[in-house]
Structure 1
C-alpha cells in the first residue's frame, strides 16, 4: 500500500506589500443659503445693521436740509458753519424721533410725556403678531409673503363677528379674536395645500392671495352685510368686542400688547420645547433628511402655513378691534410687508421679533413728530426701514464695513491651525 504523497513544503511568507490607502474624499462644503445666513447672524450683526442705517439716514437728513445746503456753498470759507448746521439738523431730527417714540421731555404734563411710548407699543402689536407668523415660516424653510392678505382676512372675520354677533363683553372679544385667527389660518392654508400637493411655490401663491384679499375686502364693503352710511367703510364693531384699554382715556394702548407678548411666549414654547416645533425646524433645516427620518413634509408644510396665518390673522384682529373699529380697504396698511422686516431683524426668534416690532413701532410713532417739529420728510423713516432690510439681507456687506468674521470662520481657522 503506497504512502500518500507528502504535502509540498510551505513557502516562506512573502514581504507584505502596503495596500494603497484611499485618500479621504474631499467634502464639498455647500455655502449656506441667504435665509440661513441671515438667521444665523448674531445680535451684533443686527446692531451693526441698525447703526449703519442710522448713519446713512443722518447723511440723507443733512443733505435735505436747506441750512446745510446753503452753508455748503461757502464750505471752504467758513467750514464751521457747515458742520454746525449738519450737527444741529441731525441732532434735532433724531431728538424729535426719540421724543415722538419714547419720551417727550418737552411735554406739558407727565401723561403727554409718556404717551409716545404707549403709541410705540400700540403700533407694535400687529407687527409683533404678524412677525411671529412670518418667522415661523422662515424657520421651517417657507417664505410666507402673504401676511398682508392673512391680516386682511383676519380683520374681515373679526369685523363680521364684532358687529353681527351679540355676546357678553369678554366672550364676544374672545370669539372675534378666534375668528380672526381662523380667517388668517384658512387663507394661509391655501398656499400650504398647493405647495404640499402640487409643488406650487409659496411666494407666488401668497402674493396672488394678497391681491385677492384686497379686492375681496373692497367687494365686501359694497355688500349689504358690511356696508355702512360712510362709503368704503364697514359697519362699526360693538363695544363688547373691542380690546379694552390698559391706561384709560388719553392713551390708545390696549390689551393687544400683553396678548402679543403671550403669543411670543407660546411661539417660543412651540418652536423650542414641542415635538411639532422640532419637526418644523427639522424640515426647515433639511427636508430630505426629515423625510428620511419619517416626517411628513407635506403635513409640516400645511401646518406651518396654518399656524403662521393664524398669527397674522390675530394681527388683523388686533388692528381692527384695538384701534380701527371699522373695516376699510387699507385695514392692513403695510403691516404685512413690515412684518417681513421685523422677522428678519429679529432673526425669526420670538424675543428678537418682539424687540424688532417695538423698534419699527418707534419709527412709525416718532416719524410724525420728527416731521412736524423739524420739517424732516417722514419718508426718511421709510428709508431707514429699507436700509435696515438691505443690511440685514446682506450680512457680507455689514461684515465688510465693520470687519466682522463670518459665522464659523474662527472655528475653521482654529481647525486649520491645529491640522
Structure 2
C-alpha cells in the first residue's frame, strides 16, 4: 500500500547503522513536524521526535540535502588534511599537529565530538617527540574538553592535568590557566565543588600574576565559574559580587556565549535567593543573545524547570517544547537527550506515568551515543517517577545502576544523593512490607 508520509521512527528504521548516514538521520529529524492528525490526541503530549512525521517529498529533499552536506563534510575533511601533509613533508611536525587540532575544532563545531577527539589524539601522538610542547599542551586540552562534553570525566581530568603540568614546565602561563580551568570544570561536574573552587582560584592567581587585573576571556570565565561555585556552596553575597563582575567583563569583551552562561549562573543564584521573577528575567536575557541552538535549548530547559519548581506546569511544558525545537535545530544527540530528561521531569511533576517515554528516549540516546553522566542522571530522575507511581523495586534498580555509573565517574555528590534516596526507598519498602500487629480478640461478654 502506498503512503504519502511516515514517522521519523519508521524512516530511521530503514537506515543501516552506517556512520555516513548520520547526517541523513539528523536531517530527517530536523525536517519532521508534529502529526497534525494527532494534535488533539492526549498521547501527543508524550510524543518524542520519533513520532513526528515527514512527507515523501520532504524525505527526498532531506536525502539531497544530507548528501550535499556529506559531500561538503568530506571535502572539508580532506581539505583540512592538506596542510597537515604539507607541514609534515616540510619538516614542520609542530605545525602539522596544530593543523590536526584545527581540523578537530572544525569537527567539534559541527557536533562530531568523537571524530574530533580522534583528530586531537592523532595530533597528540604526532607532537609527543617534539621539543616544542605547545602542540602537545593544546591537544591534551582539546581531548579534555571533548571528553568532558561526552561525560568521560576521568579521561577529561587526566588530559587537563597533563596539559597543566606540561604548560607549567614550559613556562606557558596562559596554557596552564586554561588547563587548570578545565580541570576545575571536571571537578564541578563531579560535584566536588570545594576542590573545583581551589583549582579556579589557583588559575586566577596565575593569571593575575601575568596580567594584573586586565580584562580577558580567561579571567571572565574564571570569575563566572567562581560565582557559580559560590552559589552551590550557599555563599550568596559572594556569588552576587563575583557574577556581577564576570557579567560586566564578558559584556565589555563582546563574548555572547560567556555572557549567556553568566546570565544562566545569575538565574541559578536568583533561584537560590527565592527570587523567581528575576531568575526568569536572567534566563530570558540569556535567550536573547546570539548563541548556538544547543545552548539555547539548555537555557530553555532550565527556564522550563524554573516554571516547574514554581508550580506553573503549563508554562513549563511550553518552554520544554521550545527547548525541543532548539535541540532539533542543533542537530546534537546530547542536547536532545538532556532536553527529554527535562520533559520527563515535568511529566513526573504532573504525576503522569506516560512521561516514562521521555526518560526512555533520553536513556536510548545516552546509551547509543555513549553519554554516561546523562544516562546516570536520567536513571536517577526516572527512578523518582517509578517510585511515585508504584514501581518501588524498579525505582531501586534504576537508582542502584545510576549510583554505579556516578561512582565510576567520580561524581561524589551524585553518589551521596543516590545513597540518600535509596535509603528512603528501602525504609518505605520496610514500612509497607511489615504488616500491622493483629489485635487480640476481645473476650466475649
Q: Normalising by structure 1, what TM-score?
A: 0.26
Q: Normalising by structure 2, what TM-score?
A: 0.25
More RCO (CA 8 Å, sep 6+): 1
More helix by share: 2
The structure with the largest alpha-carbon Rg is 1
